[in-house]
Amino acid sequence: MKIKMPLIFASVLLALSAPAFADDDQKIIAQAAKNIMTTAQALKAADETPVTVYGTIHKHIKDEMYQLQDQTGIIHVEIDHDLATPAQLLNPGKKVRVVGEVDTHRYKPTDIDVVEIEIL
């Protein structure tokens, strides 16, 4: 019984936190609609800035990481598997609109953590 209680407690906390994450994504989407940027602008934006960027998939780097290209440059985008299904085929040359947050790092390139993607 002592082992089950912490497991039950953790499960309840996880279930209650899911709507909070969804709410955060909706706030990012609403703010990003006002922040349409080029890749060059997104690369210079502050950490956690909500952005919308239009471009084409340039390259699949690994797992959930892609390169997005527009006329101003290339930026890395992290697209979770639940956002891009295999049927969408994010192949090089595919035109997309990505919505997400700029994620700056100390030792790796700035990227966009995507919360919504639309195939154009």
| pLDDT (0 to 100) of residue 20 | 47
Task: Give the pLDDT confidence of 59-80 residue by residue, as tens digits.
Answer: 999 889 999 999 999 999 999 9
CB-based burial label for 104 (10 Å; 0-12, 13-18, 19+)? middle
Q: How confident is the model at residue 16 (pLDDT cuts 50, 70, 90)?
A: very low
- Average pLDDT for 107-117: 94
Q: How far apart are CA 30 and CA 24, in angstroms?
A: 10
Domain boundaries, the chain: 32-119
> Shortest CA distance to 96 belongs to which of 65, 54, 39?
54
- Average pLDDT for 51-64: 94
Topology of domain 32-119, CATH: OB fold (Dihydrolipoamide Acetyltransferase, E2P) (2.40.50)
